[in-house]
């Protein structure tokens, strides 16, 4: 059965190879090949899942050794896959949600002449992400990690004829490179510390290693996670990544890419557990990002960018939970899965809205769409209720647990982190209600464009609505299904470990507080956007609003500190090169040249002057000989 693991990756990889090498003759069927192979991978995943359920809880880890990749003495890198409960969860999420997004893209990309290539890239994305979560050592994980980076670059810049898309793709790639540096340094540190980078030996050796080294490794892993998961300070690429086609945004935000960082932290849990300082940094990064993303999400009028801010914020929750250690790992992954459902649903819904509105993204030009797109409205609405944590829906269970775990950290830290998580919940309710009201309620605000075409909002085709409906089911029921009898906890506990948190106040109080802030956030949004008409042109807004519209000045910060700083550094290095290095080289050459010019005059062509130098030389030699003799 474990031989199927390689096929999980092979199916989408084959799809990518066939679609990208097959040429135009596959244009007519390419999208179905891609969807089929993604679905096949899901079927393999489901088979393995059924097999895994049949085994005892602590015998569920299976490995498949494919071949020795770099067999050098003292340096063993194998292509070995490891399928345990954690990777299984990811495999089902990636292939399941991924297949639905494939199906959705069939309709969404119908009029794009490069649809075959798009599906090739989607398959590549799935293959890379599966490799990332199935790898049994950090080096193989790194291959998947880079593959995800490549696929995201190709997909974000898919509409490369738009300069903004090309720039956004480059930005995502470059920011990710910074994180990749962290991962490669972490791997090197692991190799020097443990002599290996395979999961098993590394985690087993952690207990006998100095805390300083482990903290360094953990911080480098965190840097890597920040890059892929768009956490502060490497968050700037996520908003711009919305330049890609909407299914790509759904794929990046729900099933692949941004979840990789959370996976890395949870997978490396043994290292983080032994490095409490690094864990504290992780929680701080998570808390800051969850507020950062939420504030940005409040100010954006572009529906996709508002959802992007929301993703950043929700991933912040997961990172916060992962930083809490064994009390949070399970909930981080649980929120990741439920988030995968509702965020994919929300993005697909947003894509469906754009599809019906001539690719308009400005929510101020939507309004009242619930009458025109009932299916989109209902599925988006369920996703909305799930993400704000409406009782009974997925988000309620997973987010509530994270907030509890944050309080359970104890001491002042617990109160600060818990408070930040609660505040984030309130802001989430606010901005998601705002998106919901501006898009589906109120008066219609769209107008004819400059060519006189008025958008005719309409429901999307079946291939798009079916995935949305499936994801809506997941958004509604997944959380309850996981939480009922702590099923998800027992499922994941053998891998990540778990420790019951004890919040300073009872769990019921935390839940109550969460519901209160939810109502407050949603209420404020209703008063601001539901009770009075939404202006078509955005008002100037307060200082905070204007800053949030510019992504809280993240790009300005990067520009002033990093770009300018880099330019100054480069200029001074160039100056150094021109004056010092070139000065030495050119000076040597000039002095040799000048000396030669003088010596050249001795070659005057007169035989008699040569004779003089001969005689002079002979006289000097004789004089020296006599002198030596005398001494």
Partner 1 sequence: MNPVNYLYLAALLFTIGATGVLIRRNAIVVFMCVELMLNACNLAFVTFSRMHGNLDGQIIAFFTMVVAAAEVVVGLAIIVSLFRTRHSASVDDASLMKL
For residues 289-318, which are near partner 1 according to CB under 8 A?
A: none
Q: Which stretch binds partner 1 (CB under 8 A): 207-215, 427-435, 490-498, 611-619?
A: 611-619
Among residues 24, 531, 608, 629, which is the contact residue for partner 1, using CB under 8 A? 608
Tell me if 612 contacts partner 1 by CB under 8 A: yes
From 74, 411, 539, 605, residue interacting with partner 1 (rule: CB under 8 A) = 605
Site stretch for partner 1 (CB under 8 A), options 101-109, 505-513, 582-590, 601-609: 601-609
Which two three-digit tokens encode residue 381? 């609405």
> What is the nearest approach in angstroms of partner 1 to the Cβ of residue 627?
20
Is residue 615 involved in binding partner 1 (CB under 8 A)? yes
- Please report where in the chains the tokens 């490069």 appear, as a residue: 114
Closest Cα partner for 232 from 560, 564, 544, 557?
A: 557
**Token pair 């864990």: residue:** 279
Question: How many Cα atoms sit within 13 Å of 351 on the Cβ side?
Answer: 29
For the CB of residue 629, give the shortest distance to partner 1 in the complex, in Å. Answer: 17
If one asks whether residue 562 binds partner 1 (CB under 8 A), the answer comes out as no
Check residue 603 for interaction with partner 1 (CB under 8 A). Answer: yes
What letter would DSSP give residue 562?
I
Q: Which CB sits closer to partner 1, 584 or 595? A: 595
Among 3, 73, 192, 604, binds partner 1 (CB under 8 A): 604
Which helix (H) or strand (E) covers residue 71, if one does? strand 62-72
User: 241 with 298: CB under 8 angstroms?
Assistant: no
Instruction: Tell me the closest approach of the beta carbon of residue 601 to partner 1, in angstroms.
Output: 9
Q: Which stretch binds partner 1 (CB under 8 A): 94-102, 406-414, 525-533, 603-611?
A: 603-611
Answer for the pair 427, 509: CB distance below 8 angstroms, yes or no.
Answer: no
Q: In terms of C-beta density within 10 A (0-12 exposed, 13-18 middle, 19 or more buried), how is residue 108 classed?
A: buried
**Which member of 21, 56, 508, 607 binds partner 1 (CB under 8 A)?**
607
Q: Which is nearer to partner 1, 533 or 594 (CB)?
A: 594
d(CA 186, CA 208): 18
Q: Which range, of 206-214, 382-390, 421-429, 600-608, touches partner 1 by CB under 8 A?
A: 600-608
Toward partner 1, which CB reaches closer, 516 or 626? 626
Q: Which is nearer to partner 1, 451 or 600 (CB)?
A: 600
Percent of the chain that is helix, strand, coil (3-state, to 5):
75, 5, 20
For residue 317, give every residue at least 6 positions away whose Cβ sits within 8 Å of its Cβ, in sequence order, or none.
286, 290, 332, 335, 399, 402, 421, 424
User: By rule CB under 8 A, what count of residues binds partner 1?
Assistant: 10
When asked if residue 595 is in the footprint of partner 1 (CB under 8 A), the reply is no
- DSSP, collapsed to helix, strand or coil, labels residue 571 as helix
Cis preceding linkage at 233, omega within 30: yes
Compare residues 192 and 604 and give the one whose CB is closer to partner 1: 604
Question: Interface with partner 1 includes 593 (CB under 8 A)?
Answer: no
Q: Which of 58, 606, 628, 629 binds partner 1 (CB under 8 A)?
A: 606
Q: Which two tokens stand for residue 586?
A: 């050119």
Q: Per the structure block, which two tokens stand in for 364?
A: 């101020």
Contact 363, 262 (CB under 8 A): no
160 vs 609 by CB, closer to partner 1: 609
Q: Report the residue number, 537 or 599, with the smaller CB distance to partner 1.
A: 599
CB 92 within 8 A of CB 455: no
- The residue ranges that bind partner 1 (CB under 8 A) are 600, 603-608, 611-612, 615
């Amino acid at each position: 059965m474990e031989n199927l693991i390689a096929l999980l990756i092979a199916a989408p990889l084959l799809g990518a190879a066939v679609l990208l090498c097959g040429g135009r003759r596959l244009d007519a069927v390419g999208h179905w090949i891609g969807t089929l192979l993604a679905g096949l991978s899901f079927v393999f995943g489901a088979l393995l899942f059924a097999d895994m359920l049949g085994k005892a809880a602590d015998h569920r880890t299976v490995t498949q050794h494919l071949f020795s990749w770099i067999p050098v003495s003292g340096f063993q890198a194998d292509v070995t896959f490891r399928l345990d409960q954690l990777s299984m969860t990811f495999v089902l999420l990636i292939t399941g949600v991924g297949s639905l997004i494939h199906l959705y893209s069939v309709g969404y990309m119908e009029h794009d002449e490069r649809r075959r290539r798009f599906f090739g890239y989607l398959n590549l994305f799935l293959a890379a992400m599966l490799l990332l979560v199935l790898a049994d050592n950090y080096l193989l994980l790194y291959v998947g990690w880079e593959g995800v980076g490549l696929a995201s670059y190709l997909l974000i810049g898919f509409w490369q004829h738009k300069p903004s898309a090309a720039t956004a793709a480059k930005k995502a790639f470059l920011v990710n490179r910074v994180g990749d540096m962290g991962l490669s340094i972490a791997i090197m540190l692991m190799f020097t510390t443990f002599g290996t980078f395979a999961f098993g030996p590394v985690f087993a050796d952690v207990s006998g290693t100095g805390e300083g080294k482990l903290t360094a490794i953990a911080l480098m892993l965190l840097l890597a996670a920040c890059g892929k998961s768009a956490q502060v300070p490497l968050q700037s690429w996520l908003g711009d990544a919305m330049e890609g086609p909407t299914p790509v945004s759904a794929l990046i935000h729900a099933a692949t890419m941004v979840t990789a960082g959370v996976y890395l932290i949870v997978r490396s849990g043994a290292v983080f557990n032994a490095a409490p300082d690094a864990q504290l940094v992780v929680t701080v990064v998570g808390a800051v990002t969850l507020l950062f993303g939420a504030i940005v999400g409040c100010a954006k009028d572009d529906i996709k960018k508002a959802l992007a801010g929301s993703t950043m914020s929700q991933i912040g929750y997961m990172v916060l939970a992962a930083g809490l250690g064994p009390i949070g790992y399970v909930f981080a992954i649980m929120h990741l899965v439920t988030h995968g459902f509702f965020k994919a649903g929300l993005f697909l819904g947003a894509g469906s809205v754009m599809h019906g509105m001539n690719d308009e993204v400005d929510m101020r030009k939507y309004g009242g769409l619930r009458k025109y797109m009932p299916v989109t409205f209902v599925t988006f609405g369920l996703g909305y209720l799930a993400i704000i944590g409406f009782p009974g829906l997925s988000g309620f269970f997973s987010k509530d647990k994270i907030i509890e775990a944050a309080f359970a950290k104890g001491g002042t830290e617990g109160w600060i982190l818990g408070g930040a998580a609660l505040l984030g919940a309130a802001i989430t309710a606010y901005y998601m209600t705002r998106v919901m009201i501006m898009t589906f309620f109120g008066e219609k605000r769209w107008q004819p464009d400059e060519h006189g075409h008025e958008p005719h909002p309409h429901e999307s085709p079946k291939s798009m609505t079916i995935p949305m409906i499936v994801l809506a089911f997941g958004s509604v029921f997944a959380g309850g299904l996981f939480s009922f009898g702590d099923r998800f906890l027992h499922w994941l506990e053998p891998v990540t470990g778990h420790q019951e948190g004890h919040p300073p106040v009872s769990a019921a109080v935390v839940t109550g507080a969460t519901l209160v802030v939810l109502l407050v956030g949603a209420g404020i949004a209703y008063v601001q956007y539901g009770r009075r008409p939404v202006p078509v042109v955005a008002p100037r807004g307060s200082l905070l609003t204007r800053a949030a519209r510019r992504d809280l000045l993240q790009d300005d910060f990067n520009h002033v500190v990093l770009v300018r700083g880099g330019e100054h550094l480069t200029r001074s290095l160039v100056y150094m090169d021109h004056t010092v290095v070139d000065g030495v080289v050119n000076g040597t050459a000039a002095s040799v040249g000048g000396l030669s010019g003088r010596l050249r005059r001795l070659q005057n062509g007169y035989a008699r002057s040569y004779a003089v130098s001969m005689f002079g030389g002979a006289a000097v030699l004789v004089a020296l000989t006599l002198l030596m003799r005398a001494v």
